[in-house]
């Protein structure tokens, strides 16, 4: 099994899940700007015609793309990990609800902040939109250890990954104490620490 990733990108989410679930896997770093494999000059386009990470390559050679699909696949192969509720349960639909919120209301809103051509006035609008989402999330996290309650799930791996981008985009989480405490809890998990160190995000 191989995960194609870019340092600190949304591929950190399945990277964390792979470690939390106890998989044996290889990492293949991708230069997203050049669409090349690192090190060397291998072309990334044949791996994923979308030109994006993450990509999970199974031992069979089949590939999965899109982070929420990948993390659910990984959790379903190792149900004892507790990383996702069983299919068909209401808890599973709530997990999918959370994954969809993270994708559409956090991940995609962040995107313009990573484009150097984004006008400054739109950067402000984007940060204002994120602040509104953070206010909702902060209230949601009140009294919860993790997004689903006391159990760490794939939704937490994804949410942590996206919220971690605030460090790189000068967004102070001080107004949202529940989010700050949540980020500290997730960051302290040994497998999360392993993933951050493996990607060069933590010394």
Query: Rg (Cα) of the chain, in Å, rounded?
Result: 17
pLDDT reported for residue 202: 87
Residues 173-187, mean pLDDT to the nearest whole number:
98
Residue 65 in this model has a pLDDT that exceeds 80: yes
Residues 89-109, mean pLDDT to the nearest whole number:
98
Nearest Cα to Cα of residue 137 among 151, 156, 152: 156
Q: Which domains does the chain show, CATH number per domain?
A: 2-81 (3.40.30.10), 90-190 (1.20.1050.10)
**Residue percentage of the chain with pLDDT more than 90:** 98
pLDDT reported for residue 39: 87
pLDDT reported for residue 146: 98
pTM across the whole model: 0.97
Residue 130 in this model has a pLDDT that exceeds 80: yes
Could you give the CA distance from residue 86 to residue 23 in angstroms, rounded to a whole number? 19
Instruction: Tell me the pLDDT tens digit for each residue of 6-35.
Output: 999 999 999 999 999 999 999 999 999 999
Q: How far is CA 125 from CA 35, 91, 109, 128, 131, in A?
A: 29, 34, 10, 5, 10
């Amino acid at each position: 099994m191989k995960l194609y990733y870019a340092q600190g990108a949304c591929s950190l989410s399945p990277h964390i899940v792979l470690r939390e679930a106890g998989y044996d896997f290889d990492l293949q770093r991708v230069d997203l700007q050049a669409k090349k494999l690192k090190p060397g000059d291998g072309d990334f386009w044949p791996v994923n015609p979308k030109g994006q990470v993450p990509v999970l390559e199974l031992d069979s050679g089949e590939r999965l793309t899109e982070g929420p699909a990948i993390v659910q696949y990984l959790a379903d192969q190792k149900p004892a990990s507790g990383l996702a509720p069983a299919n068909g349960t209401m808890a599973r639909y709530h997990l999918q609800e959370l994954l969809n919120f993270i994708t559409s209301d956090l991940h995609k809103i962040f995107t313009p902040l990573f484009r150097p051509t984004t006008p400054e006035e739109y950067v402000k609008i984007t940060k204002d939109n994120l602040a509104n989402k953070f206010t909702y999330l902060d209230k949601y996290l009140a009294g919860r250890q993790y997004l689903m309650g006391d159990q760490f799930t794939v939704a937490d791996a994804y949410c942590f990954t996206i919220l971690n981008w605030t460090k790189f985009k000068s967004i102070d989480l001080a107004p949202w104490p529940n989010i700050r405490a949540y980020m500290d809890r997730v960051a302290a998990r040994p497998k999360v620490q392993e993933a951050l160190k493996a990607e060069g995000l933590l010394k």
